[in-house]
Amino acid sequence: MKRFSMLAAVALLLVGLIGPAEARRRRQYVPTQEEEELWQSATKLYQETSRSKMAAIESFERFIRNHKDSPKAADAQFMVGEGHMAAALKILKKEAESKKTDVSRLLAPKNTAAIAELKQAEKAFSAVIRNYRKRQSGLDASAQYRLGEVYYNSKEWGNAIEAWREVEEEHRKSYIVPEAWMGVIFANLALEQFSQAEANLFLLGETYPHFLRVPDVLYVQGIISLHKGDYANAERALKRVKTAEAQFYLGKTYLLSKRSYLAAAAFQNLVKTYPNSVLIEETEFFIGDSFFLAKDFDGAITKYRRFSAKYPRSPLRVSALFRIGSAYFQKGNYVEARAHFQSVIDRYSRDFFAPLAQYFIAESYLVADQYREALFAYTKVITQYPETIKISPLAHYKLAWTQYNVSDYSQAAQTCRNFLSLYPANSLAKNVYIVLANSLIKSKRPDDAVTAFQRIIDLAPTSDVAEQALYSILKTQYDLKRYNAILTSYQFIFRHLPPSQSKWRPLSYLFAAEAYIRMNRVDEAKAIYEMVLKVYPNDKAAFYAQDGLAWTFQMLGDDVRAHEEREKLQAMLELMKDGDIGAFAENSLGIGDSMYNQKKYESAYHLFEKFCKENPDSKQAARSCYMSGMSLYHQQFYTQAIEAWRHLIQKYPKAEEVKKAEYQVGDTLFRAQKYEEAVSQYQRIIDTYPSSRQLPLAYLRVAMSHFNGKNNPGTLNSALALLKRFPKAAETIDALDLMEAVYDRTPTANFRSSLRTVVEAVPGTETAAEAQFRIARRLFEMKRFAEAGEEFQRFSVDFTGSPKLQKAQFLLAESMYNAEKFADAANAFERFLTNFPINDDIALALFHAGSSLYGLKKHEGAIKYYQRLMDEYPDSEYTKAGLFNLALAYKATGNYGRAEESYARFATQVGCENEGGRAALWEMFTIQKDRKDFAGGMSTLTRISDCKSDPETVMEVLYRKGELYVMMLDKPEAITVWENLVPMSPKDYAFRLQGLIKLGEEYEERKDYAKAIQIYKDLCRNAPGGTKKAACQRAKGLKSFQRGEDVAPRESKTQIMPKDKKPAKRRAKKKPKPIPKKKKKTEEINIPGMN
């Protein structure tokens, strides 16, 4: 604790802190010369910082022995304590430094030399309190405070708290009381008494409010908030403290709040700002962890390897090696993962990570379906690391599971029994029982299996594994036709188990229902099926329940209801789819300046030129010559200006204006488009003034001159020279812009190789970051998205502190998205949204994050992002498309109510005049129709026709309304609606014809043959192909029938009208697309009802 180290000079000032009685005694006391000399000698020895404190301590102790009644005896005693304290702290500091390089020191016990010094300090400070309290030396409070420091540095934090508490209780008016409070708080933290530390911090603030602005207090606030999980306040406090420790915990705050890239930037800032901190090594390790936790496994691998190379003797090297293996494991590169895990075992066989590495070798085989190899690897964990409390049980469980998967059921059962014998109280026991029971079933021992399943319910009755066990019991009993046992288990569920949303529960209910069916207790079965449909409507079990419900009605003889339930089942199945010359001359020069400043350049030129010629030895001559050139320049006399400046350069080569003149010559040549001369001039400047602050500009002008002279290689080489020499100059951006301009006008230029040269020439700089970013951005603009993603990834790994990290992360995600790598895109968007929640790209990121998940058919995740887009960015340009996609996602999940609601919002926002708006309305209608929401469907159709009243739309709306009336069993109203189609045009429009067919059929059904004949004649005139022929024949047949000829009315639709293809139904699109305009039907159409 740094605050508890105090300078010796400060300690010596404590001599003046005495009470009134002691002050009177000191005025009466006359020290001897020997006493005074001894005191001065001891003090001088203490103040010599280059030597050990032991000589000073011995001098002060001799002073105490020889002059115990001296008023300064208390001070001497106090300084003895100070000396021992300083010696102890020096030892501890040296030890801490050695731990950076000597690994073996890390496991060393408490430093006995430091402890011995601290004990001597404790003895000295206690003597001050015990022996000099009555003299009112004024040192009591300081000595008591020092005792707290002694205990703290001895790591006796409880004793430290008691010592500092006594400062407050015995010396309430002392200036040192708040410092003692701080000591108590730090000791609380050391003891991990965070609640007590927070309470003490509150009391400190209430009593000494100015202390709340002290950095140490802010640091404590940050640590406490971090411990509480209050990451916002932790971040706010720690950002205000400029120490390595605060920066370290700021990084941890970002890690724990899942802002991993911000954590990496914070840790990198610590390395850059506090390079000598004892935390550097651990910090660089945490940079790798930041990438790992961000699921940027390539970046993590790079960081861990850099750490291992930089700290080859670090105690964390095995952790880094293990994490590299873990990163490869997460990437699915199991060969590389196993190689690194094996390296951990071979190099650090007795390390904590060795059994973990062996376990993950087994896991890598398992996930790759290499069961035999996994089996042997799990066995190695068990036999080589049997004492690992956490790993060995897990390895037993996985070994049994692997044996089960290779059909070695007897061995799997034995491994399970071994586990239960060794680890009966382990949390995995219930899972092991599952493997045991399933192995017993495969071994044809069902009764023993049921017993094993029952043990799971006894161990963890509310767990999901227990639900699986219960299901397995019922299934086993069902297979054994023990229906009564199933019903007993069913009653157990209702009486003893709470409601559950486990996927296993509804399946268990289904077995109970099936048992009732087998026992001919149909009503009880029907009640269970209805309960499953009500409680688990979105579960797959609902399909089976619906089927079972239909069967129960059929068994009960209610065929009508059975048919209705079968139709519901069918509907459910369909729904699954950024010098002295004189006053006159000096005055004329001043006038020239005035004229120049007033932009009267001609008058200024004559005055400057006259002074330059008439006063060549003046100290102002060079300046006047320079200004004459500038005056000519502003009059656009560029050649004369250059001559004036060259005269200055030749006449006054050591004048300070010469450098400016050189630059002006170059600039003027450049502006006069004399690019070859400009290049020569700037090259002269570069060679002549290698330390000039404007040198980057000279390099830039060389590159610009080459560019304007269409010298592409010269441009690239000059720009690269600038970037290499001055990577931090402001001109670097212009240089990179020039390079890109070359690439733009020369498509064959290898921009990637050229910019990569920049990155490699100035690694770790902002210039390198900018060049890397441009490589990626150009690839992105060229739509080479996969390559762009790789380059943005490289940027994110190598330049975590760059201000462009945010944009790079966004474009990385966009690259993955455009490359249709939706899984990578979804992860990248999630990482971007978590680490950079406030920026201009959030709306698009949300939209594409949702679309990525939609493309992966993860519709629930897509809904979350689309809904957030709607809620947080309602005015975004992506909101409307997002709303349509939201509807699609809801529809895909079977949530038709929310889908309909989203389509309605979309139609309202875009307006039904918009083709997409009408498409949304038709989608709404389809849903309403399928859900038999007839009133809603009618309302939607009316909105469509009111919005667009062209004949085709109106006719389709009329036809659809008729359909709805038929579904509502209101055929008269359907006929009335369809009759409106008769006079409408175009006559050959599909939905008109389709409506007429329906109308003709209804007239015939009513035996209103005259009207039917008129309808069929209309179809005969206007319908295409086979429909026309069939309609003509039917009209003729009905006429004959009216005349009394023996022509019977049709008995079925297929007798009269030929089978034509049906028009394609409207289907929901995967993403919003323009809706094609309807074509007039010139080919044969599909008219439902004519077959």
List, as one string, the DSSP characters of 498-556.
Answer: -----THHHHHHHHHHHHHHHTT-HHHHHHHHHHHHHH-TTSTHHHHHHHHHHHHHHHT
Q: How far is CA 886 from CA 39, 270, 891, 909, in A?
A: 86, 44, 9, 14
Tokens 């002694």 belong to: 150
Q: How far is CA 723 from CA 260, 681, 695, 728, 731, in A?
A: 31, 20, 12, 8, 9
Residue 813 Cα to chain centre, angstroms:
11
Tokens 């975004």 belong to: 876
CA atoms within 13 A on the CB side of 602: 0
Asked if 792 and 824 touch (Cβ cutoff 8 Å), the reply is no
> What dihedral angle (degrees, nearest 10) is formed by the CA atoms of 992, 995, 999, 1005?
150
Give me the CATH topology for the region 750-839. Answer: 1.25.40
Distance CA 756, CA 775 (A): 8
Give me the sign of the Cα torsion angle 688, 693, 696, 701. negative
- The conformation of residue 32, written as its DSSP 8-state character, comes to -
List, as one string, the DSSP characters of 621-679.
Answer: HHHHHHHHHHHHHHTT-HHHHHHHHHHHHHH-TTSTHHHHHHHHHHHHHHHTT-HHHHH
195: how many CB neighbours lie within 10 A of its CB?
12
Query: What token pair was written down for 620?
Result: 């102002």
Q: Pick from 694, 708, 701: which is nearest to 668 by CA?
A: 701
Q: Pick from 129, 130, 111: which is nearest to 119 by CA?
A: 111
Residues in the chain: 1091
Write the burial class of residue 935 (CB in 10 Å: 0-12 exposed, 13-18 middle, 19+ buried): exposed
425: how many CB neighbours lie within 10 A of its CB?
6
pLDDT tens, residue by residue, 247-278: 999 999 999 999 998 999 999 999 999 999 88
DSSP-derived 3-state class of residue 838: coil
Asked if 97 and 79 touch (Cβ cutoff 8 Å), the reply is no
Q: Pick from 1037, 1022, 1027, 1020: which is nearest to 1057 by CA?
A: 1027
> In the prediction, which pLDDT does 1057 show?
40
List, as one string, the DSSP characters of 676-711.
Answer: HHHHHHHHHHHHH-TT-TTHHHHHHHHHHHHHHTT-
pLDDT tens, residue by residue, 903-932: 888 888 888 788 888 888 999 999 988 888
Q: Pick from 400, 467, 386, 470: which is nearest to 428 by CA?
A: 400
Distance CA 303, CA 595 (A): 63
- The conformation of residue 71, written as its DSSP 8-state character, comes to T
Query: What token pair was written down for 673?
Result: 């488009």
969: how many CB neighbours lie within 10 A of its CB?
8
Distance CA 358, CA 382 (A): 10
* Domain regions of the chain by residue span: 2-225, 505-577, 579-612+621-651, 673-749, 750-839, 989-1091
Q: Pick from 1066, 1063, 1074: which is nearest to 928 by CA?
A: 1066
- The conformation of residue 100, written as its DSSP 8-state character, comes to T
Distance CA 672, CA 658 (A): 21
Distance CA 920, CA 905 (A): 9
Q: Pick from 879, 880, 831, 821: which is nearest to 852 by CA?
A: 821
Cis peptide before 951 (omega within 30 of 0): no
> In the prediction, which pLDDT does 1014 show?
92
Distance CA 446, CA 431 (A): 18
Distance CA 160, CA 149 (A): 7
Distance CA 921, CA 904 (A): 7
Give me the sign of the Cα torsion angle 675, 681, 687, 691. negative
Distance CA 5, CA 19 (A): 26
pLDDT less than 50: residues of the chain: 1-17, 101-108, 578-583, 1048, 1051-1091
Between helix 112-132 and helix 73-98 the angle, nearest 10°, is 160
> In the prediction, which pLDDT does 175 show?
83
Query: What token pair was written down for 855?
Result: 């493309």
Distance CA 740, CA 444 (A): 74
Asked if 797 and 306 touch (Cβ cutoff 8 Å), the reply is no
Q: How far is CA 893 from CA 125, 218, 572, 884, 888, in A?
A: 75, 49, 12, 15, 9
> In the prediction, which pLDDT does 1049 show?
54
Write the burial class of residue 276 (CB in 10 Å: 0-12 exposed, 13-18 middle, 19+ buried): exposed
- Encode 175-188: b = buried (16+ Cβ within 10 Å), e = exposed: ebbbbbbbbbbbbb
Between helix 766-781 and helix 751-761 the angle, nearest 10°, is 160
Tokens 């590159």 belong to: 703
Query: What token pair was written down for 691?
Result: 């330390």
Give me the sign of the Cα torsion angle 132, 136, 141, 142. negative
> In the prediction, which pLDDT does 586 show?
57
- Fold matches, 579-612+621-651 and 673-749: yes
DSSP-derived 3-state class of residue 293: helix
Give me the CATH topology for the region 2-225. Answer: 1.25.40
Distance CA 1026, CA 785 (A): 52
Give me the CATH topology for the region 673-749. Answer: 1.25.40
Cα angle at 848 between 842 and 854, to 5 degrees? Answer: 140
> In the prediction, which pLDDT does 329 show?
94
> In the prediction, which pLDDT does 563 show?
79
Residue 103 Cα to chain centre, angstroms:
35
In the chain, the amino acid numbered 997 is I
Give the architecture-level CATH label for domain 579-612+621-651: Alpha Horseshoe (1.25)
Distance CA 871, CA 882 (A): 11
In the chain, the amino acid numbered 748 is T
Cα angle at 885 between 882 and 888, to 5 degrees? Answer: 155
> In the prediction, which pLDDT does 1081 show?
35
Task: Decide which of 1.10.3720.10, 1.10.287.110, 1.25.40.10, 1.10.150.120 is the CATH code for 505-577.
Answer: 1.25.40.10
The pTM of this model reads: 0.63
CA-based R_g, the chain, Å: 45
> In the prediction, which pLDDT does 1001 show?
92
